[in-house]
A = this chain, B = another copy of it.
Amino acid sequence: MLRRFKNKWEILRQKVYIIIYGANTFAGKLFDLVLLAVILLSVVLVMLESIESFDMKHHFSLKVFEWIITVFFTIEYVLRILCNKKPLKYIFSFYGIIDFISILPMYLSFFIVDAQVLTVIRAIRLLRLFGILNLVPYIGQESHLKLAIKASRTKIIVFVYFVLVVSIILGALMYVIEGKENGFTSIPKSIYWCIVTLTTVGYGDIAPQTLQGQMIASLIMILGYGIIAVPTGIVTAEFSNIKRNRIDARKRRNCTACTTTIYDEDANYCYNCGQKLNDVFKK
């Protein structure tokens, strides 16, 4: 009898697994959509709660919704562990940790008063939407981007490192020139100002007041103007390169007789063995 129960349990486990982890069955799709809605709802809830005037008026209903979502997420988390053959792999995966952390704060709020503020961590669950919304399968798109970023990774790291070193040096310089009385109260703050300026964000909460400071700031801005061209140039060149290679690859075909690769899309005969080529390319 235990065996039969075990069998039943195994069948149930597999069914739940297909619903939760799969997306090909109707139930699986439905679960994904419900999860999508609940994640979005939970993020909206956290947002609304942070608006003081709204929280005052609807504190009780917000709390109720909060608990409903927490219970839903808890059930989902437990089911994900139970129905998985390798539960530890899930628990210590990126999503497993996020799922766990996003249900934790509500339970902690029994013991620690301010724990609820941590519910904002749930926002990270939004990353699951990339999977649910089928944005990953757009691999053609994704991989383009990923390939371009991967190819230009080292260059971008060197670039970011360069920006940081320049910011530290120029930040220290501005600290000496402008001084504490003009808002450059410390070197870290000066470096922060320098990054704000180099990236052309320009809050204006700190701004040079002396003529020398403004002259150096102008130089930094023009430098930043030139620097912005570098990552754009790198990524664009990689993009174009990947694109061109793709196109080249698409135009290739093989001779049916000698399997030579033919690059010329208008060729009628194999340049190697004279075999008549069939016209595969629409023109």
Residues of A within 8 A of B (CB): 43, 46-47, 50-52, 117-118, 120-121, 123-124, 126-127, 129-130, 133, 135, 138, 141-142, 144-145, 148, 154-156, 158, 160-161, 163, 165, 168-169, 172-173, 175-176, 180, 185-192, 195-197, 199-205, 207, 211, 214-215, 217-218, 221-222, 224-226, 228-241, 243, 247, 252, 259-261, 263-264, 266-269, 271-272
Contact = CB atoms under 8 A, between A and B. Distances in A.
A223 to B, nearest CB: 9
Contacts of A233: 148, 232, 235-236, 238-239
SS class, residues of chain A in contact with chain B: helix
As for how many copies of this chain the complex holds, the number is: 4
A229 B231 contact: yes
Nearest to A247: B241
Contacts of A127: 165
Nearest to A190: B50
Contact of A186 (B52, B165, B175): B52
